[in-house]
Structure 1
Amino acid sequence: MHTLRAARMTSDPIIKPDGTRARANMPDYAKAYAAFSWADAERDIDGFGDGSLNIAHEAVDRHVAAGHGAQVAIRWIAKAGDSRDITYSELQDLTNRFANVLRNQGLEKGDRVYSLLGRLPDLYIAALGTLKAGCVFCPLFSAFGPEPIQSRMEIGQANAIITSSRLYRRKLKGIRGNLPDLRTVFLIDGDEDATIDLNAAMNAANDTFTTERMQPEETALLHFTSGTTGKPKGVVHVHQAVVAHHATGRLALDLRPGDTYWCTADPGWVTGTSYGIIAPLTNRVTMIIDEAEFDVDRWYATLAREAVTVWYTAPTAIRMLMKAGASAAKPHDLTALRFMASVGEPLNPEAVIWSNNTFTMPFHDNWWQTETGGIMIANYAAMDVRPGSMGKPLPGIEAGIVAVEGGTLRELTAPMAIGELALRPGWPSMMRGYLHEQARYEKCFRDGWYLSGDLAMRDADGYFWFVGRGDDLIKSAGHLIGPFEVESALLEHEAVAEAGVIGVPDETAGEIVKAFVALKPGFEASESLLLELTGHARKRLGPAVAPKEIVFRQNLPKTRSGKIMRRLLKARELGLPEGDISTLESDER
């Protein structure tokens, strides 16, 4: 088994950007793990002294109160290359104004505020201002089409949304009448059709606001994750989650006050909120936010110019950097980099070894889910990395490999035994429910374990290794895609009788969405129909979710109950064993 030495030896001091010296966190993992308690971690945040707290207070206000208002909180880089700095003091004023804007529009504690924006300062201000006001923040990925947007806003009973004029006209205007709970639409660049000009409202608002004192179990965040069947799941997280966000940012990502940190994830996904907003700001770093999409030269130039010390990105991006070759990095001074981490899907061993050779340190993979709210298992700064492993559990997290044997859930202790990855419940960022789906939530817990649905192994030294998903969920370029949602959009087309969707391996994206379609009588497969279906899917779902490949079939394999057997489609596509097909009713290869 190939093992890479820790990027920084534990005996070597780390020179921080301000010239001070600090040692890598957890030089003795076993000792740190044994001594850790969430009660101690809670003392690392301020709260309000009466048992109440608020994520936005921990991320912004307490730093200003402690005299750090002049530090840059956000450095935003526009597509054109110009930048804007927002200090912690300015961020406090702006988030106060946004909270007052919500109040002025009649939005109260507990109301649900959605965002549909790219990586713009307005999004980050809205997220924190929403939390200050005691409202629930729910980010949407700006590449979604109208139908994924509508379904998520319906489930979450959205009361307000912040978006742009372009996105409003293209994606929201046509569905607004289907959203009875939606009272307010804020536009960052004007107003039209009973919307509110956010800039004007912000300018008119007061820059002082008394942050809501929230109880630890009151809802703060709503994230959506697609299931393999049925509608998307609304995952509920509470203000208490900030305890885990803060601690895991320090322990798993090695964040330190004064760091310059770049998380490339979009806040439309949970990583971009937990580790693109909350964890870095509670740890008082300067966050780099780039409006533009991936570009090899731009990314390397940004890392060098901004002297990024901690970098958190995705395997898809890492594979694209690999494709460009190590030579692309050589012209850039990347010596400020202290720690690099990967998230979104398992990082293949080749990428870890490549990064070690290219940057003289490896990318540190970690594992968590929307449901866990924060990093649960990770490769730490002071530990040796085993390429392909997700690492070891964070302090405060008890992880195990479990399986049902004889009707009983049992932990598997033999090294490299394959089973379901499970966690003991109780960490602060654990989801508190699936919105409106209590039974579905309860199915995630059994015999004292939270069941992740992922298959994994644990080696003799306590490193965990990802094996595969226990369901049909597709992970493409870090995005979780539910086949049912894609199939439903395809079935809306008048020519489509049946649709089955699977993920197939892709060197860059990890997986891509592939759809198998059976046509209704009177329609014939053709290149023009293929183009029409592709355009239809992209319009309904957005390019991030729509299938990259569509194949026509006379019929699709189904069970006797009419359920399309995606497992069988995937097995045949990849040349894998078909397994038990005793329930197969119809089939057409």
Structure 2
Amino acid sequence: MSSLLEEYVSRTDFGSYEDFKKNFKINIPENFNFAYDVVDRYAMEQPDKRALVWCDDNGNELVYTFKDLKHYSDKAANLFKKYGIEKGDVVMLTLKGRYEFWICILALHKIGAVALPATHMLTTKDVTYRIELSNIKMVVSADDEGLMGYIDEGHKGYEDILLHKASLNGGREGWLDFTKELEEASADFTRPEGEAATKNEEIALLYFSSGTTGLPKMVQHDFAYPLGHIITAKYWQNVRDDGLHLTVADSGWAKCVWGKLYGQWISGTAVFVYDYERFDAKNMLEFASKYGVTTFCAPPTIYRFLIKEDLSQYDFSSLEYCVVAGEPLNPEVYERFLEFTGLKLMEGFGQTESIVSIATYPWMEPKPGSMGKPSPEYDIELLNLDDEVCDFGEEGEIVINTSKGKTVGLFAGYRSDEKKTNEVWHDGYYHTGDMAWKDEDGYFWFVGRSDDIIKSSGYKIGPFEVESALIEHPAVLECAITGVPDATRGQIVKATIVLAKGYVASEELKKQLQDHVKKATAPYKYPRAVDFVD
């Protein structure tokens, strides 16, 4: 068996990062549609190739081949069409870790409708906001009474916009039974042609992305976007054909399509979905071991919980490669994981607006805490406040040079918000809003959001620096660093801390932690306020 990868890239193998950066290129065919050109293509040529392995905490498990996914996505496409969903219509999916998410998003791609994945933690206000801004025509939800209640409340007054609500098993007044309807739907669906066919520049996907200020923005991605995730999956996560990849992410977040869909299937690996109600490190380790996960991606928070367990009790013989993203990696976590597994954690950076745009690639030696180097096809620069390119060691904003055109995988602007789009994307640059510095080897180091920098007594303090120092102390399981107002200093650094097992909050421990930070980094960065929480 083989993947379809070679059809979409200039080359598949590279001898060094420099070779990769210079010679890698993604080939974008006309009118690419991931559902037809990848999933249905596999279904035709390699029907029994494993695509999705799903399990939950109740002992349920399913394995879907590409043939299965074509069958069910065709049925779902007919189901959506039955209820009036056409090309360009927005359908919200609040499906947690349910396998129906993959069926639905493929079906919507086939129709040319716009998929809007959303977290199951939405409240009434969130639902109303999304209906108003994106004109959601239909919603498919997991069977969650609280969530469906919020959707019902948010729906009031918008019945002429949101026309249909479906839950997986129905049973609620005013809601369709998605499972029953799917079973009854025809599996005969033909790829649309002419004006009904999708085009690369048309919108396939929407995400509401929160910033540090203001209400969430609607990030738009076009039908060519999945091809950008070849870089994410094949060359950062290092997935392999016929492997099994696990990214820890619920279907409501962009990290799901980063790690559980596009690049992985193009590269030929199956994706593993563990549908849990509440994260438990032991269960995660047991399932990853049981099913033979080969590549793994998670944020540092997850790794921090994993290394607190007795890793010697688990079989990692199938595990070949691990990456980390979502927040900067603390060196302590890197060293502990390496000690237990022998695997080096390879960091990466990106946003809801992009694919992985800076990463530690397989040919590179990782520097714990560094994001790595720019991805191919991404011209990354650091600009200071005067819009000048930064020197080595100088902090600046991460920007993507798009003067030669939109980079593959980069978003298509903020929907219905030209002003906000122009604020971040102008003069040939997309401004990420994230601050970093670059060392003399070309590695990038994250500092923080441009508006998250703490300014205290004239000093500029990046929250991550303080967090990294604190997390090295054995008493600290989790911590968050924030700036709080202070009459004398303008702001002071505050640490909110969850203690590890065996430690009890006290003034003495607070003083120990403050002294620890003073020794680990510049003394002026220590947290003057410390709050211990559960």
| TM-score bracket relative to the smaller structure | 0.7 to 0.9
Task: Provide the rounded CA distance (Å) in 2 between the counterparts of 1:364 and 1:61.
Answer: 32
Structure 1 residue 354, shift from structure 2 partner? 1.6
The residue that corresponds to 1:386 in the other structure is 367
Contact 1:227 1:473 in 2 (8 A): no
Distance 1:104 1:446 in 2: 42
Q: Does 1:362 align with 2:344?
A: yes
User: 1:140 Cα deviation (Å)?
Assistant: 0.9
* Cα offset, 1:26, TM superposition: 3.5
Output the CA distance in 2 between the equivalents of 1:25 and 1:386. 23
* 1:473 shift after superposition: 10
- 1:530-557 Cα distance to aligned partner (Å, 9 max, x none): xxxxxxxxxxxxxxxxxxxxxxxxxx89
Q: Does the 8 Å contact 2:76/2:107 carry over to 1? A: yes
Say yes or no: does 1:420 pair with 2:401.
no
4+ runs of 1 displaced by more than 4 Å? Answer: 505-510, 567-578
Q: For 1:299, which of 254, 259, 284 is the aligned residue?
A: 284
Equivalent residue, structure 1, for 2:164: 184
Alignment partner of 1:89 is 2:67: yes
Q: Is the 8 A contact 1:226 1:233 kept in 2?
A: yes
2:322 equivalent in structure 1: 340
Change (3 A) 1:419 1:224: same
Please name the residue that 1:288 is paired with. Answer: 272
1:314 corresponds to 2:299: yes
Q: Which amino acid aligns with 2:330?
A: N
CA distance in 2 between partners of 1:383 and 1:453 (Å):
26
CA RMSD of aligned residues (A): 2.7
What whole-Å deviation, never above 9, does each CA across 1:249-289 have from its counterpart, x for those lacking one?
11111122211111111121111123222221222211110
Inter-partner Cα distance in structure 1 for 2:312 and 2:165: 47
Residues 81 and 382 from structure 1, CA distance in 2 versus in 1: closer, same or farther, beyond 3 angstroms? farther
Alignment of 1:11-160 (within 5 A): 26-38=14-26, 41-42=27-28, 51-66=30-45, 68-160=46-138
Three-state SS of the structure 2 residue aligned to 1:159 is strand
**CA distance in 2 between partners of 1:25 and 1:309 (Å):** 20
Is the Cα–Cα contact under 8 Å of residues 58 and 282 in structure 1 kept in the other structure?
no
Equivalent of 2:190, from 210, 213, 218?
210
Deviation of 1:60 (Å): 1.0
Distance 2:495 2:238 in 1: 41
Q: Secondary structure at the match of 2:370?
A: coil
Distance 1:259 1:56 in 2: 20
Give the structure 2 partner of residue 403 of structure 1.
384
Where does structure 1 lack aligned partners over 5 or more consecutive residues?
1-23, 475-504, 517-555, 559-566, 579-589
1:174 counterpart = 2:147 = no
TM score, norm. by length of structure 2:
0.81
Determine if contact 1:71/1:88 at 8 Å carries over to the other structure.
yes
Aligned equivalents of 1:181, 1:210: Cα separation in 2:
28
Secondary structure in structure 2 of the residue aligned to 1:93: helix
Distance in 1 between the 2:414 and 2:479 partners?
27
- State the 1:235 CA deviation: 0.4
Query: Counterpart of 2:363 in 1: which secondary structure?
Result: coil
1:446-482 Cα deviation digits (max 9, x unpaired): 43221111110111111111011112499xxxxxxxx
Task: Give 1:420 shift.
Answer: 0.7
Match of 1:162, SS state, is strand
- Structure 2 unmatched ranges of 5 or more: 1-11, 455-469, 497-513, 515-522, 526-534
Correspondence 1:434 to 2:414: yes
1:206 maps to a residue whose letter is S
**One-letter code aligned to 2:289:** A
Q: Tell me what 2:333 maps to.
A: 351
Supply the distance in 1 between the matched residues of 2:52 and 2:174 (Cα, whole angstroms): 32
Q: Secondary structure at the match of 2:220?
A: strand
Larger RCO (CA under 8 A, 6+ residues apart): 1
Q: Distance in 2 between matches of 1:81 and 1:366?
A: 33
Query: What corresponds to 1:13 in structure 2?
Result: none
Kindly provide the amino acid, as one letter, of the partner of residue 235 in structure 1.
Answer: V
Q: Percent identity?
A: 25
Aligned mates of 1:65, 1:163 — CA distance in 2:
30
The answer (yes or no) to whether the contact 1:140–1:269 under 8 Å persists in 2 is: yes
Opposite residue 291 of structure 1, the aligned amino acid is D
TM value normalised by structure 1: 0.73
Q: In structure 1, what is the Cα distance between the partners aligned to 2:383 and 2:366?
A: 24
